Amino acid sequence: MLAALTIYFSRREIRRRKSRLFVIIGVWAFCSAFVTIVVPFAFTKVLKDYQVKRINVMLGKENDPKATYNTRQSMIAIGSGGLFGKGYLKGTQTRFDFVPEQSTDFIFCTIGEDFGFLGSVLFIGIYVALLLRIILIAERQRSTFSRVYAYGVACIIFFHLAINVAMTIGLAPVIGIPLPLVSYGGSSLMTFTMLIFIMLRLDADRQMVLR
């Protein structure tokens, strides 16, 4: 249907350039093959049973209380925080360990319960400011490698942030992705710190690179 609508609304451009029609058909054929071949293969041969169950539960195809326990407790914790939160270290869901892995994968629910909706928005806003700063650093690089590296760092931080937050509010399956620079764990903190400091070092030497 999307391909048909695209062809319909682009009919004037297609009359001028027939190549656009072949591009639309090619994208449609690729997406159809991906859905009918790659996705079933991944579900049966690549993903493990518990991973498939988490995806099915998120999509509403299965109802397993054990598989959704972490997510339900996390959503209860975030919802109980309300607008302003319960205060630092005063959240009942996280304080009494109703939420598993609340210091690593589900650290965002602790922030949501303690500081509420406003605190969560401010917390995400700090990440947005960091990402915008990284993009600004990427745009002023004179080296193609440095620019691509900086954009790569921004993409890694963004996807970790988006998936982790979506995971805690039930919009994504639980896959164990930490929240950058916040989740407890030495390897995660060290990895993100190294990524950022390498980018800063490349930015410090940007004037030495000839165009």
172 within 8 A of 166, measured Cβ to Cβ: yes
CB-based burial label for 156 (10 Å; 0-12, 13-18, 19+): middle
Two structure tokens written together for 7? 């062809």
Closest alpha carbon to 157 in 140, 137, 179: 179
> Does the pTM exceed 0.85?
no
CB-based burial label for 111 (10 Å; 0-12, 13-18, 19+): buried
Closest alpha carbon to 179 in 156, 198, 196: 156
Torsion sign over Cα 104, 108, 109, 113: positive
pLDDT in 10s for each residue of the chain, 211 residues: 888 888 888 888 888 888 888 888 899 999 888 888 888 888 888 878 877 777 777 776 766 666 677 788 888 888 888 888 888 878 788 777 777 777 788 888 888 888 989 999 999 999 999 999 999 999 988 888 999 999 999 999 999 999 999 988 888 877 778 889 888 877 888 999 999 999 999 998 887 765 5
In the numeric block, the tokens 């960091």 are attached to: 130
At residue 171, what is the residue type?
Answer: L
**CA gap 93, 65 in Å, rounded:** 18
80 within 8 A of 91, measured Cβ to Cβ: yes
Q: From residue 115, give the alpha-carbon distance in Å to each of 43, 84, 111, 163, 185.
A: 38, 6, 6, 21, 22
